[in-house]
Amino acid sequence: MEALKKSSNFTGPAGPVVLAILDGVGIGKYEDGDIVRKANTPTLDWLSANSLTSSLKAHGTAVGMPSDDDMGNSEIGHNAIGCGRVFAQGASLVNDAIEKRTLFDGAVWQELIENVNTNDSRLHFIGLFSNGNVHSHIDHLEAMLTDAENQGVEKACVHILLDGRDVPPTSALEYVNRLENFLAALKEDSDIDFAIASGGGRMKITMDRYQANWKMVELGWQTHVLGQGRTFESANEAIGVLRQENQKVIDQDLPPFVISRSGQPLGPITENDSVIFFNFRGDRAIEMSMAFEDDNFDKFPRGPRLNVQYAGMMQYDGDALIPKKYLVDPPGIDRTMGEYLVKSGIKQLAISETQKFGHVTYFFNGNRSGKFDESLENYIEVPSDIVPYEERPWMKAAEITDELVDAIQGGEYQFIRLNYANGDMVGHTGVPEAVEIAVETVDLCLARLLEAVDKVNGILIVTADHGNSDDMFQRNKKSGEVALDEQTGKPKPKTAHSLNPVPVYIFDPTGTVKMSLSDHPDLGISSIAATCLKLLGFEPPRDYTPSIVELS
């Protein structure tokens, strides 16, 4: 890999190029429910009037998803921004592997099946239980259950992590009823014992990320593996009772439950079982994978490592090799912007709080852990608070900004990238009042950032990886009308990412850089990389998505 070619007409600004990614801040289609539009955002308003401004696609095929009905997410968004190209992503790869049967013909799937058939043991599936297509898809689960039945598996257990985040907040029973009907149909022609064995909300158990809250994973281990916890006769009963006890709770926050049969847990994970974590997205599957695979695991009292065959849908960390076995190969992302800049001698800073730290590092670098060059890169993680985000919507934006202002004024870095997580993480709570504070917090911090860049004659690029806070109400898909709660008469909250485009603002405080918007139509967020490289004084690689700007 060679260094980048220097631009013939621009050598870069005096100060750094700063890329600010406002997570979950899109351009809303409707006024009602668009909290970004409702919030007091004088800095974004000023940038809209005083900078080079455009919009970018951040979902569907523009970021490697199967269709434009699929929302984007932070992981594939940072992949696209960081590598400057569009790669087929998780859902697309799994769909293809199922359609072409490479998943089922592969050595890992065959090994898992042979293990349970030989030992008369159970096949277990753990994963996010919805059709949100961000972490997982119920279609993939059903396809694997079908093939398992065809290959003679007699006992299978499904451990469901309720969503309510990438799908409507209280839609869990739709998926439970769908799976129960699906399993009943499978059983009509064979003598199998396939059933839901345990579950709980995705923000309560199992699906922690970035080692922020190992208690979640421990509770998941107790629920799925040990079969310990509050018991119910069915998932349908569990969800109904738990909702009745706390009528404000949404699916992602439902407590864990264990399904019992004759007074005993239906499906604890025991020796010689096979286990599949069927999430294709990695960030929230890594820690449970570690608990299954690490001989020296010490994050909670797990006990000796179980002798089970364990695999992920994909490999969630290619550098740490977590998990060791996986069903579908991840996209081979190479030649990222960060690596090119290192080869070209550019000093870089990446910073965010814990919840998005991996996004500006691991995902931005093409699903690669660690640095390309210790001497040319600095990564700063600001520890996130372990608290419901609706209770602290400002999160760590101010602390991130403190670090940024010092870094910009210090003059050490030529390229700085950051993520403000508020618009996404608070957006997922479905609490509009908190989301409004979150957006205004980011805007306030952005004002400080703008001032710092101005003082050193840098260039500021502001964009987002996907929308969320811009679309906070559920709607009728045909009419677009807001869906109202029958009891309260208020709009039903929407907690998922939006399908809206995201803004991009490019501000040169000196006014000396002769920039204009490119004439390339329908650009997506993958064009950010070429844009950054141009503004740093380099010619982008030929196969990168074209830049948003032209320089003259």
Contact 289, 277 (CB under 8 A): yes
The terminus-to-terminus CA distance of the chain in angstroms comes to 28
**How far is 65 from 397, CA to CA, in rounded Å?**
30
Contact 189, 182 (CB under 8 A): no
> Does residue 274 have an active-site annotation?
no
Indicate left, alpha or beta for 200 from its phi (over 0: left) and psi (-120 to 50: alpha): left
Active-site residue (options: 74, 130, 498, 527): 74
Hey, what amino acid is at 425? M
φ, ψ of residue 154 to 5 degrees: the values are -105, -25
Going 446 to 472 to 133 to 176, the CA torsion angle's sign is positive
**How far is 185 from 485, CA to CA, in rounded Å?**
34
In sequence order, what are the beta bridge partners of 504? 54
**How far is 31 from 45, CA to CA, in rounded Å?**
16
Q: Which of 350, 390, 497 is nearest to 24 (CA)?
A: 497
Which string of DSSP letters, residue by residue, matches 466-518?
Answer: SBSTT--B-B-TTT-PBPB-TTT-SBPB--SPB---EEEEEE-TTS-S-EEE-
Q: Which residues are catalytic?
A: 74
